[in-house]
Chains A and B, each alone.
Chain A
Amino acid sequence: MILFFILLLPLVSIVTLSISKNINVIKFNPIITMGISLGIIIYFIFAQQIASNGNFDNLYINFYTLIPAFDVNMSFNIDRISILLLILSHLTIITAFFSTLNFKLISDTYEQNLIRHKQINILISLISIGINGLIISNNLFVFFLFYEIAAIPIFLMISTFGYNLKREVSGPFTAILKFFNVGSKEYGSYKITIYLFVASILIFFGLAILGISSGSFEISNITTGNNSVFVFWLLLIGFGTHSALWPLHTWAPDGHGTAPTAGSIIFAGILMKIGVIGFIKILIPIMNEITFNYSNVIIFLASVNIVYGAFTALRQNDLKYVAAYASLSHIGYIFIALMTSNETGINGAIFQIISHGLIICLLFFTVGVIYRIKKTRMISELSSMLDYSPILSYFFIFTAFASIGFPLTSGFVSEFMIINGIYKYFEFSKLGILMISIPILGILLTTIYMFRVVKDCIFTLNSNLNEFFDMDNYEIIICFILCILILFIGIYPNFIQSILFDSYKGLVMK
């Protein structure tokens, strides 16, 4: 019961933020609130002994009924997977709050700064309510409601706090791209909003048809598998757009590029996983048969995602675009793994969700710090960071190693499990060896593009520069926490495996 306060705590924080006039309160209040909320979740894990035994199944609560005829309730359900997702979303939001501490200030007046801090912290808190509610929702209606709560503040965030990029355009569509003023923050915010709302319309129709045809909107009550191919495609395109499944991904690089650091962290860390959460909560359990009928399509698209995203990241000049395409590539592993329908693969998918969330948070955070200090994100303009900003460089190198799946980081664990799962799914066959070479190729390409950045920006020494600069203490603290978590999952993956226990059983082919 206490766990449901995590939805109310950000509201408290929003109220405090809007009446407070002290900048320190505005800066640190949301961090402390989210910290308390995270503490509640961790207390819950230990109090229920989730990690140590298999007794915990799920925690269901129904606040009130909205439409009795269609079983539309304000109901929530916490199971083993959603606890892990909640922890991830909290960490992401806390990292986002930390990134606003050194926020780029437009005016010098105290009031202006105060208002800007207030605005962005309230927006992030709103997104956190939406995300957390979506993760623990047990009703299609509640799912959609919180989805919209999470999606709306994105537009405000980018259009108010974003960056204008100078993007060179060429090719057959030059006139069109110039017409839209590509690279401006308005372009980015409109693009991401239009994409996400088209997706949300599709999801809305899909969920409505699903709920009305089966007579109940409760996820746990829809037992008879709905076999409408139409609904499946609606939901696949909707969730696929949200998770940047190829070819519906083009909002991601532009959105990340123009968004402020906090925005990028939230997108890549948790918002891009909404599609995956949709797969885990709705598509695979409810439409099991039809989803696995189309598993070849999903595996194909996800494989394209892995290779395509990695190849595109190879030639980007903007660090945020590199990170955006990297996260596109890593999302592909999750979709392949979800389709493997065995324990290792599905656990690997959950591991990859968490590990990718943590790594991409760290990556975007360090890129944000680089931008704050150097005032540029272009690889061609950055150099000699190892000598003049060692701590930042070591964090960036750590992130590079984590994202290429280096052993003893969480990336290795998840990729190892996913590749094992894929090989098991294809059972010894030659096709299996071909299929595991796709993630392997993805890792190889990740090595190449990440270490191209490390080579050019960090190692290469430019003797013209001699200013020593580095991260400040708050930035070091949050980066250190993320590093420790990445290493913890990499060294002791058993902990998360024991939290997951047998929850893969709901996600296999029936």
Chain B
Amino acid sequence: MEKLIFILLLASPLSVVVFHFIKLKFNKIIIHEGYFTLPIIFNSISFMMLLFNYESLNKLEFSYIKIHSSLISLIFSFNNFNLLMCLIVLVISICVLIYSYKFISNESYQRKFRYSIFLNIFISSMVLFSLSDDLLSSFIFWEFLGLCSFFLIAYYNSDVKAIYSSTMAFWITRFGDLFFLMGLIIIYLGSQSLSISSINNFLINSNNYSDNLALFFILIGIFTKCAQYPFTIWLPRAMKGPTPVSALIHSATMVVAGIFLLFKLSSSIEFYPFIKDTIFYVGLITSLICSIYAFYENDLKGILAYSTLSHIGFMLIPIGNSAGEMGYFHLYSHSFFKSLLFLMAGYLILKFNETSINKLSGKLSFFTPYGIIFSIACLSLAGVYPLTGSFSKEYIIIDFINNRSLIDSLILIISVLFTCLYSSKLFFSIINFKRIGHDIFKKDIFYLLPMGILAFFSLTGFYTFNFFKEFTNINFKNISTIELISLQFFVIFFITINYFFRDKIRSYSEITINIAKSFIEIEHIYRHIYKKIFVQMGSFVGWFDRNIIDGFVNFLPYIMVNTSNYFQKIQDGFIRGYASKFLILIILSIILFGITFNV
């Protein structure tokens, strides 16, 4: 059974390749949409098998490589945490695949192949990443996520900015991945095994310099992949890619993969205060700055990107606060409404061909299915009570306020405030309540079905919460009614405030945007590093190589050739010249003879 799931996961990208090959050979026989049908079927089957048979699945081990005379195996385990992550990934992937089927139907088959193959490789490697139970296989599929992200961001390669963004994203994430690799190697020499449980045991027992450093390196890897603070810039730039890709990769799965890994390591991180504090403060700073910045952003996908960043910050905060399961829970609930918002944004951009929310304002009527779905997603993002987004956020906030100092709590409250502000801004600027433009939105099953599935999960907060609790056997502390009501009052108060005094809020908090801007807009620093360090160093070393080393090498034969040319002039071909030179030579040799023998 386990192996069948593996084969299905590998078969879906392979089926795309086979289909493409058949398409090239027998052009007219098969319709274009075959790029998505088989992967959807395969992924659905593996989803069903995981959902209904998870109790009978066993651990899988593949021996991979021998290092320091012990064999490293790639371990894939089907425990509840891994399975839940797997299910989230598969639900969103199937939705995105159905959506993409329509979304790119006008492209040429070469481009369709490129889109479909990398999307399917992404899904397979993400599922395998969630199932993997050791650091090496995590690292392997972690790298594959970066590969697919690289190709999919650069999908619209007529746009130079898209190519630039994809390359920058790849360089930055690769930089982090190499730190991850270093940390992994340093840990391995100590623990002699790479499975998560034995690493946790090892890290708990030995707490020395190199372990701290290794964890810190792994943390850098996670921060780059999750686009946390100093590395934030690549994620907003990655929005140049197709929107379904952003929904799957840059909001719900790849960028939160690091959170999942940290959650698995959270039992040992407990014992490393420095690492814990780093996670906590990086999460706090990112969530604050990015939520402020999202409020001032006017690009639809830009708002969603910065909102994703701030929500990943929210997920990091509980991990740095000894409550890893809450971070995981927030990952779970966030993935539904954020991917839904992205799919909705993709639909709007496709319909109106506009990305700025000023130009999209009032375009979507509330009384269409799309309008209702969009409202659900926005309110879930803001954290309005019975919706999914509110549950995880409440737990995080209340746990935080009870355990941390006043200033930290204040920062968190401000970032939650701005989350409410930007989600209400999104809601009120795009939705109208007047039944205008009703007829533009045809009911298209390929858009409505995936968005409907995700909207169901975003709407039914109690159901998803209970599913999470039953599946993972985590006991959450109960929240008292007063805390709940006060928090909801806070959220709804700011949503309504924003509806009435939007421009005033903007002008009053002009100073915060400047601060956030100075933090966020650090792309020029990256460019500076690239130009000053890499390019200039490369030019210098190249010059040094061509001129100094190679010049020296050429200099020796040059001297030899020149000297021989000089001595060649002695043979001028005239008898009198030879005679005179002969005479001079004889006189010289006589003199020399006389001097040496003192005649």
Q: Which residue of A is nearest B108, CB measured?
A: A387
Q: Which residue of B is nearest A384, CB measured?
A: B157
Q: Is the CB–CB distance between A437 and B182 below 8 Å?
A: yes
A35 is an interface residue with CB less than 8 A from chain B: no
Chain A 60-94 interface mask (CB, 8 Å, partner B; 1/0): 00000000000000000000000000000000000
- Which A117-143 residues sit within 8 Å CB-CB of chain B? none
Across-interface contacts of B179 in A (CB, < 8 A): 440
Q: Is the CB–CB distance between B181 and A419 below 8 Å?
A: yes
Q: Is the CB–CB distance between A451 and B171 below 8 Å?
A: yes
Bound complex: CA A267 to CA B163 (Å) = 34
Across-interface contacts of A343 in B (CB, < 8 A): 68-69
**Stretch of A36-44, A45-53, A96-104, A308-316 that contacts chain B:** A308-316
Q: Is the CB–CB distance between A408 and B185 below 8 Å?
A: no
Chain A 428-454 interface mask (CB, 8 Å, partner B; 1/0): 101001001100100111011101101
Q: Is the CB–CB distance between B154 and A315 below 8 Å?
A: no
A344 is an interface residue with CB less than 8 A from chain B: yes
Chain B 379-393 interface mask (CB, 8 Å, partner A; 1/0): 000000000000000
User: Which of B67, B114, B154, B166 counts the most chain A CB atoms within 10 A?
Assistant: B67
Q: Is the CB–CB distance between B554 and A176 below 8 Å?
A: yes
Across-interface contacts of A347 in B (CB, < 8 A): 66
Q: Is the CB–CB distance between B186 and A176 below 8 Å?
A: no
Q: Is the CB–CB distance between B154 and A459 below 8 Å?
A: yes
Chain A 398-431 interface mask (CB, 8 Å, partner B; 1/0): 0001001011100001001101100110001010
B555 is an interface residue with CB less than 8 A from chain A: yes
User: How far is the CB of B188 from the nearest CB of chain A, in Å?
Assistant: 7
- Which A273-331 residues sit within 8 Å CB-CB of chain B? 308, 311-316
Q: Is the CB–CB distance between B541 and A451 below 8 Å?
A: no
With A428-B189, A433-B186, A444-B174 in contact, do A493 and B558 touch (Cβ < 8 Å)?
no
With A424-B189, A444-B175, A493-B64 in contact, do A387 and B541 touch (Cβ < 8 Å)?
no
Across-interface contacts of A191 in B (CB, < 8 A): 553
Bound complex: CA A475 to CA B66 (Å) = 35
Q: Is the CB–CB distance between B65 and A497 below 8 Å?
A: yes
Chain B 108-124 interface mask (CB, 8 Å, partner A; 1/0): 00100010000000000
Bound complex: CA A45 to CA B160 (Å) = 51
Q: Is the CB–CB distance between B110 and A447 below 8 Å?
A: no
A110 is an interface residue with CB less than 8 A from chain B: no
Q: Is the CB–CB distance between A311 and B541 below 8 Å?
A: yes
Bound complex: CA A250 to CA B114 (Å) = 40
- Which A439-480 residues sit within 8 Å CB-CB of chain B? 440, 443-445, 447-449, 451-452, 454-455, 459-461, 463
Q: Is the CB–CB distance between A176 and B551 below 8 Å?
A: yes
A177 is an interface residue with CB less than 8 A from chain B: yes
With A176-B558, A250-B549, A343-B68 in contact, do A420 and B541 touch (Cβ < 8 Å)?
no
Partner of A448 from the list B181, B534, B557 (CB cut-off 8 Å) is: B534
Q: Is the CB–CB distance between B174 and A447 below 8 Å?
A: yes
Across-interface contacts of A497 in B (CB, < 8 A): 65-66
Across-interface contacts of A443 in B (CB, < 8 A): 178
Q: Is the CB–CB distance between B185 and A419 below 8 Å?
A: yes
Q: Is the CB–CB distance between A455 and B167 below 8 Å?
A: yes
B490 is an interface residue with CB less than 8 A from chain A: no
Across-interface contacts of A420 in B (CB, < 8 A): 67-68, 185, 188-189
Partner of A177 from the list B143, B166, B545, B554 (CB cut-off 8 Å) is: B554
Across-interface contacts of A407 in B (CB, < 8 A): 139-140, 143-144
- Which B128-173 residues sit within 8 Å CB-CB of chain A? 139-140, 143-144, 147, 154, 157-158, 160, 163-164, 166-167, 170-171
Q: Is the CB–CB distance between B534 and A417 below 8 Å?
A: no
Across-interface contacts of A20 in B (CB, < 8 A): none
Q: Is the CB–CB distance between B157 and A386 below 8 Å?
A: yes
User: Which of B139, B164, B538, B551 counts the most chain A CB atoms within 10 A?
Assistant: B538
B537 is an interface residue with CB less than 8 A from chain A: yes
Chain B interface size band reads 35 or more
User: How far is the CB of A323 from the nearest CB of chain B, in Å?
Assistant: 15
Across-interface contacts of B66 in A (CB, < 8 A): 344, 347, 494, 497
Across-interface contacts of A180 in B (CB, < 8 A): 554, 557-558
A247 is an interface residue with CB less than 8 A from chain B: yes
B539 is an interface residue with CB less than 8 A from chain A: yes
Partner of A436 from the list B110, B154, B182 (CB cut-off 8 Å) is: B182
Partner of B541 from the list A308, A401, A447 (CB cut-off 8 Å) is: A308
User: Which of B167, B209, B546, B549 counts the most chain A CB atoms within 10 A?
Assistant: B546
B577 is an interface residue with CB less than 8 A from chain A: no
Across-interface contacts of B402 in A (CB, < 8 A): none
A230 is an interface residue with CB less than 8 A from chain B: no
With A180-B558, A250-B550, A420-B185 in contact, do A311 and B110 touch (Cβ < 8 Å)?
no
Q: Is the CB–CB distance between B67 and A173 below 8 Å?
A: no
Q: Is the CB–CB distance between A440 and B64 below 8 Å?
A: no
Bound complex: CA A404 to CA B550 (Å) = 27
Chain A interface size band reads 35 or more
User: Which of A170, A316, A343, A406 counts the most chain B CB atoms within 10 A?
Assistant: A406
Partner of A494 from the list B64, B160, B549 (CB cut-off 8 Å) is: B64
Across-interface contacts of B209 in A (CB, < 8 A): 430
Bound complex: CA A459 to CA B139 (Å) = 27
Q: Which residue of A is nearest B163, CB measured?
A: A459
B210 is an interface residue with CB less than 8 A from chain A: yes
Across-interface contacts of A406 in B (CB, < 8 A): 143, 147
Across-interface contacts of B63 in A (CB, < 8 A): 494
Q: Is the CB–CB distance between B547 and A172 below 8 Å?
A: yes
Chain B 505-532 interface mask (CB, 8 Å, partner A; 1/0): 0000000000000000000000000000
With A419-B185, A420-B189, A460-B160 in contact, do A447 and B68 touch (Cβ < 8 Å)?
no
Across-interface contacts of B67 in A (CB, < 8 A): 344, 416-417, 420
Bound complex: CA A423 to CA B558 (Å) = 45
With A171-B543, A312-B542, A407-B143 in contact, do A344 and B185 touch (Cβ < 8 Å)?
no
Bound complex: CA A384 to CA B167 (Å) = 15
With A171-B551, A451-B170, A493-B64 in contact, do A423 and B163 touch (Cβ < 8 Å)?
no
Partner of A314 from the list B144, B534, B557 (CB cut-off 8 Å) is: B534
With A172-B551, A311-B541, A428-B210 in contact, do A423 and B170 touch (Cβ < 8 Å)?
no
Q: Is the CB–CB distance between A315 and B549 below 8 Å?
A: no
Partner of A173 from the list B64, B537, B555 (CB cut-off 8 Å) is: B555
Q: Is the CB–CB distance between B553 and A250 below 8 Å?
A: yes
Bound complex: CA A448 to CA B529 (Å) = 13
B5 is an interface residue with CB less than 8 A from chain A: no
User: How far is the CB of B177 from the nearest CB of chain A, in Å?
Assistant: 9
Across-interface contacts of A390 in B (CB, < 8 A): 110
Bound complex: CA A394 to CA B413 (Å) = 49
User: How far is the CB of A430 from the nearest CB of chain B, in Å?
Assistant: 8
Q: Is the CB–CB distance between B182 and A440 below 8 Å?
A: yes
Having A250-B550, A316-B542, A428-B190, one finds 13 other A-B pairs with CB under 8 Å, namely: A173-B547, A173-B550, A179-B558, A312-B538, A312-B542, A384-B157, A408-B140, A420-B185, A440-B178, A445-B534, A452-B167, A459-B163, A460-B160
Point out residues on A near B: beta carbons under 8 Å: 169-173, 176-177, 179-180, 182, 191, 194, 247, 250, 254, 308, 311-316, 342-344, 347, 384, 386-387, 390, 401, 404, 406-408, 413, 416-417, 419-420, 423-424, 428, 430, 433, 436-437, 440, 443-445, 447-449, 451-452, 454-455, 459-461, 463, 493-494, 497
Point out residues on B near A: beta carbons under 8 Å: 63-69, 110, 114, 139-140, 143-144, 147, 154, 157-158, 160, 163-164, 166-167, 170-171, 174-175, 178-179, 181-182, 185-186, 188-190, 209-210, 213, 534-535, 537-539, 541-543, 545-547, 549-551, 553-555, 557-558, 561
- What are 26 residue pairs bridging A and B, where the CB atoms are less than 8 Å apart in the complex? A173-B551, A179-B558, A179-B561, A194-B557, A250-B550, A312-B545, A314-B537, A347-B66, A384-B157, A401-B147, A407-B140, A419-B182, A419-B185, A420-B188, A424-B189, A430-B209, A433-B182, A433-B210, A440-B178, A449-B538, A451-B167, A451-B170, A459-B166, A461-B158, A494-B64, A497-B65
The 7 closest A-B pairs by CB, nearest first: A314-B538, A173-B551, A171-B547, A407-B140, A315-B538, A311-B541, A250-B550
